[in-house]
Homo-oligomer: A and B are copies of this chain.
């Protein structure tokens, strides 16, 4: 199995590293326009091969390095600056997508494409239009990262293992995203009815409406906080990306909130947005018809409108 990562910045290089450590792919290619950087990243990762499952890794500024890839992950782009909103980054990035996608599809026509570059929902939509690929073959990493942030904060708050907390964030990967509280659960207990766990002075870790609101805000803010603190986010997104890559390469048919082209999903069409979807070797499959509260449905619609408006601005 062969993975190509386009863009060897903090996100791309760390994703290659995480995927190799997890044994996700036997062969990893890094492509970047910065030859010195991409070779340095591949070399630095390669030096650690003896501590990882067997694999080989190559870095190059020649796009041919992506040939024969089963999955192509696109992380090329500009780093988000502390003062920049995600949507502000869009224009230059759409240009990059127009340039790079035709070249990629030429060398790796059968790969499944996973867009990570922000604003990911716009980038995914643009990449679909530019490439002409069928909508199942290309999607964005969407809110997989945001959902893992949500689950982490809920695990911290409740004291329950993160693996038992089932909650998705849907919509835009960005400020208008919506946590799907009404369908979330802990164990098999609806999250909104979670009674907390017995503590010395009564139940601890309850999840009232105020707690949920605070946690949802923390999810949105944590990206900004991380960027303010370290200039980029890379560790968690690399693992989220590796999870998606594994779902494709192993045909896992996992349910993941990736960003894909919606076609009458609860009345929403012609926009790329994240909803829980089945991901396997052919790319993105069924979008799950999750029950939503009226508020959640409204939020999703608003998110769709916001993303669509930006896309239109770029003539997409």
Interface residues of A (CB under 8 A from B): 13, 17-18, 21-23, 26, 36-41, 43-55, 145, 148-149, 151-152, 155, 159-164, 166-168, 180, 183-190, 193, 195, 197-198, 222, 225-230, 233-236, 238-240, 242-243, 246-247, 250-255, 276, 278, 285-286, 288-291
Contact = CB atoms under 8 A, between A and B. Distances in A.
Contacts of A161: 54, 247, 252-255
Contacts of A40: 225-230
Contacts of A54: 161, 246, 250-252
A188 B166 contact: yes
A233 B168 CA distance: 36
Contact of A254 (B18, B44, B53, B164): B164
A50 B255 contact: no
A235 B188 contact: no
A198 B286 contact: yes
A44 to B, nearest CB: 5
Q: How many copies does the complex hold?
A: 4
A280 to B, nearest CB: 9
Contacts of A187: 168, 255, 276, 288, 290
B37 A229 contact: yes
B189 A39 contact: no
Given A36-B229, A40-B225, 13 more contacts: A43-B229, A44-B226, A44-B230, A50-B162, A50-B163, A159-B253, A160-B255, A161-B254, A168-B187, A183-B188, A187-B288, A188-B276, A197-B278
A21 B23 contact: no
A291 B186 CA distance: 12
